[in-house]
Structure 1
Amino acid sequence: MRPASLGILDLPVSIDRSFFVIVQDPLHGVLSLLDARGHVSAGLTAGGRWAVAFAAPDGVKFNVVREGRCWLRVGDVTVRLGAGDCYLLTRPVPYVLASDLAAPAVPAGVVFADASDGMARAGTGADVVLVGGRFSFGDRAGTVLLDALPPVIHVPGGEADALRWALDEIGGELRSPALGSRLVAEHLAVVLFVRILRWYLGRPGAAVTGWLAGLADPVVGAALRAVHAAPAAPWTVASLAAAASVSRSTLAARFTAVVGRAPLEYLTGWRMELASSRLRRGDEPVAAIARSVGYGSETAFSTAFKRVVGASPRDYRRSVTTRATRR
C-alpha cells in the first residue's frame, strides 16, 4: 500500500500488549487505500422560481450553500438547505435542487452547458449560490466505505464550525482564481470530505454500519485499530481480545453484533482489500503480495481472495488492466 497522504487523521502512537505496533486510524488507512480525490465543478447561482434535475453522480457528490436557501430532494428524502449548509450524496442516484420542488425541473446538463466564469445560472436573479463538486475513489470504494454510510449526509450551517475553514478556502480559490487555484480547491475538497465524515461519525446515533459503526465502540474500535495497524500479523481472536482488554467471547460477540462480521472474517476482508489495491497498482508477484498480507502460501491466499473478491488474483489484475486500457 502506498504511503498515506491524509496526515490530518494521524492518531497518537500507542502500544498493543500483544504486538509492538504503531496503531493507525482505520479511516486514514481506508481513504488512502481508496485514493480519494476531490473534483470541484462549476457553482450554481439561482433566483426566482427554479428547479434543476441532476443525473446520478459519478462518485460522491457534495454541495455547499454559500448564500440563500433551497430544497434538496433525493428519492424520498427531502432536505431544506440554508446558508452555510453542506451535504454529501453517497449513492449514484438522481437528485433535484430547487426553490420550489413543484416547479418544472430543467436538466442540469442544459444549465451547466451555459456556465461562465465558473458559475451556472438557473431561474432569474441570484437568491441562492452553491459551490460543489464530487469525490472519486478507486475500485471497491462501495464495498469498503460508501455502503457503510447513509445515502444523504446533511451538515447544518450552525454545526459546520469544523468545516468552516475548508469551505471558506474553497470559496476563495474559486472566487479569485490564481495559479493552481483548481488544484488547491480540489485538495481542500478532500479535507472537507474527511471533516464531514469526522463530524458525522462523532454524532450520537450516526446511521452507519459495518466497520464505521465499530469505530465508535471502545472495544471493537481497539480491535479494528490493531488490525489496521498490523494486518499481516498472525492475529487470533485471543490476541485481538487482548488488544481490546476483554475476553475472547466478549470480543467475538460484540464485534459480530456491531460490525456484522466476526473478527477474523473482517481481518480476511481487510487483507483482501489491501491485496486488491496492490494488484491494481502494479505487476508485483502474487506470491509477494500474499506474504505482505500475512499468507505464507500463495495457494491459501488465492483461495481466500477468490472467496472474498469473486475472482482469482491474476484474473482480478487482468480485468482491472483491461478496463484501464479501454478508458
Structure 2
Amino acid sequence: MLMPEPQTGHDRGTADPDRNTALAAALDRLSLEGAIFFRSEFTECWAYRSLTPEGMAETLHPGARRLIIFHIVAAGRCWVSPHGGERRWADRGDVIVLPYGDQHEMGGLQEAEVVPIETLFEPPPWDSLPIVRHGEGGDRTDIVCGYLHSGDPLFDPGLRAFPPVFVVRPPEGPMAQWVRSSIDYAVAVSENSLPTGSIPTQLPELLLVEAVRLHLASAPAADNGWIAAIRDPVLAPALAQLHARPGHKWTVAELASSAAVSRSLLDERFRKVLGRSPIRYLTDWRMHLATGLLATTDHGVAVIARRVGYDAEEAFSRAFKRATGSSPGTWRAAKTAVAREL
C-alpha cells in the first residue's frame, strides 16, 4: 500500500500541511513492531473488558512489558473507557489509540453486560486472522484491532505524554481514503481466512504513526521542540508531572522541586526547547486535553473545565476562546457538524 502524504490537524479537525516538520521527522524515525490481530463484529447489545497490559503483552508479544493498542471503527459507533474512566466515543473511520495498552472496556450504544475479551476467541497462535463475533443481534459495529510494540520514550508509561486513550478522525483527503482502504484490506484478509503471515507488518505501523501525528498536531510546541523535550533530562520529569496531573494548581517552584532542578533552570529549558514558560505550556496542554474531551465525550463544559484545572467555567471558556478563537460550545458544535457530514 502506498503511504499518503503526511497531514496534520486536530483530532477531528482539518489538516495543515505546513506544520510539524520536526514532529513528522521524529515520528518517521520511530521503531515499531506490530500486527493486525483480529476483526470484531459486535451487535447490540455488547460490551467487553480487555486483558491487563501485562496479560495483553504476554498473549500477543511475549517478552514485551506493554503494547500500544489501536482499534479502527470500520462500521457503526462505539465507546471506549480506560481504567473505568470516562467514555470516549468513536464513529466509522475513527482510529482509537491506547498508547500504553491500558486495560479498558468497549461497548455499543446500549448498556450491556461487560464480558472478558479472552472468552470471545481462542488464544493464539492463529493460522488465520480471527474474527470475534459477540452481541445480541441488533445493530452492528465492526472493529479492526491491532497492536504495536515500541521502546521509544514517546510510549513510556512513566512519562504519559499521551492521555490513556485518544480518538483520531483523519481529515477528508488522502489520509482518510488510505485508512478506509486499509480497513477494507484487513476485512478482506479475515473474510478469506488468509494466513496471518500474509498481512504486511507495515500496515499497523503506518496507521499508528499517522494517528499519533494527527493527535499531536494540536499539542503545545509540536511543531518544534516537543519530541526533544520528552527526551530532555530536565524537561522530561517536569512534563511527566504536568501530563499526569494537568488539573493541579502548579507553581514553577513546585514543578522545579518535583524535577529536582532550580526554578531558573527549568524556566530556561522550557523557553529554549518549547518556546514558552512552564505555566504557559501547562495552559496550552490543558487546552489540548480540553479539545479532545469536547470532541469525544458527552461531558458538559463545566465538567471539562474542572477536569483540566479550572474552578470556574467562565475562566475556562475565556482561556479556550483565546487559544482556539471559539467558545467551547461553538467549537464542539462545529466539530459535531463536520463529523456528521463525513
Q: TM-score, normalised by structure 2?
A: 0.49
The superposition leaves residues 112-169 of structure 1 with CA deviations (integer Å, 9 ceiling, x where unpaired) of 2289863111113361110011111136554499732222221136668624304422
Which of 175, 187, 202 is the aligned partner of 2:202? Answer: 187
Deviation at 1:82, TM superposition (A): 1.6
The answer as to 2:97 corresponding to 1:88 is yes
Deviation at 1:83, TM superposition (A): 1.3
Counterpart of 1:124 in structure 2 is: 136
Letter in 1 for 2:44: G
Change (3 A) 1:68 1:157: farther
Which of 35, 42, 48 is the aligned partner of 1:52? Answer: 48
Change (3 A) 1:7 1:162: closer
Which of 88, 95, 107 is the aligned partner of 1:79? Answer: 88
Counterpart of 2:147 in structure 1 is: 134
Counterpart of 2:239 in structure 1 is: none
Counterpart of 2:33 in structure 1 is: 37
Which of 210, 215, 218 is the aligned partner of 2:222? Answer: 215
Counterpart of 2:281 in structure 1 is: none
The answer as to 2:76 corresponding to 1:63 is no
Deviation at 1:95, TM superposition (A): 0.8
Higher relative contact order (CA 8 A, sep 6+): 2
The superposition leaves residues 281-304 of structure 1 with CA deviations (integer Å, 9 ceiling, x where unpaired) of xxxxxxxxxxxxxxxxxxxxxxxx
Does the 8 A contact of 2:93 with 2:179 survive in 1? Answer: no
Change (3 A) 1:141 1:118: same
Does the 8 A contact of 1:42 with 1:112 survive in 2? Answer: no
Counterpart of 1:264 in structure 2 is: none
Letter in 2 for 1:105: V
Where do residues 131-170 of structure 1 align in structure 2 (5 Å cutoff)? Answer: 131-138=144-151, 142-143=155-156, 147-156=160-169, 162-170=175-183
Letter in 2 for 1:79: R
Change (3 A) 1:43 1:53: same
Change (3 A) 1:259 1:59: farther
> 2:4 & 2:174 partners in 1: Cα distance?
20
SS in 1 for 2:112: coil
The answer as to 2:125 corresponding to 1:112 is no
SS in 2 for 1:121: strand
Change (3 A) 1:167 1:181: farther
Letter in 1 for 2:169: P
Bigger fraction of residues in helix: 1
SS in 2 for 1:138: coil
Where do residues 142-291 of structure 1 align in structure 2 (5 Å cutoff)? Answer: 142-143=155-156, 147-156=160-169, 162-176=175-189, 182=197, 184-203=199-218, 206=219, 213-217=220-224, 220=225, 252=269, 254-255=271-272
Deviation at 1:73, TM superposition (A): 1.4
Letter in 2 for 1:134: Y
Change (3 A) 1:59 1:78: same
> 1:138 & 1:46 partners in 2: Cα distance?
33
Deviation at 1:198, TM superposition (A): 1.7
In the alignment, structure 1 segments of 5+ residues that lack a partner are 1-5, 10-23, 207-212, 229-249, 262-327
Letter in 2 for 1:254: R
What is the total number of aligned residue pairs between the two structures? 210
Deviation at 1:170, TM superposition (A): 4.5
> 2:136 & 2:87 partners in 1: Cα distance?
23
Q: TM-score, normalised by structure 1?
A: 0.51
Does the 8 A contact of 1:163 with 1:196 survive in 2? Answer: no
Query: RMSD value over aligned CA atoms?
Result: 4.3
Greater Cα radius of gyration, structure 1 or 2:
1
SS in 2 for 1:195: helix
> 1:193 & 1:131 partners in 2: Cα distance?
13
Deviation at 1:47, TM superposition (A): 0.7
SS in 2 for 1:87: strand
SS in 1 for 2:151: coil
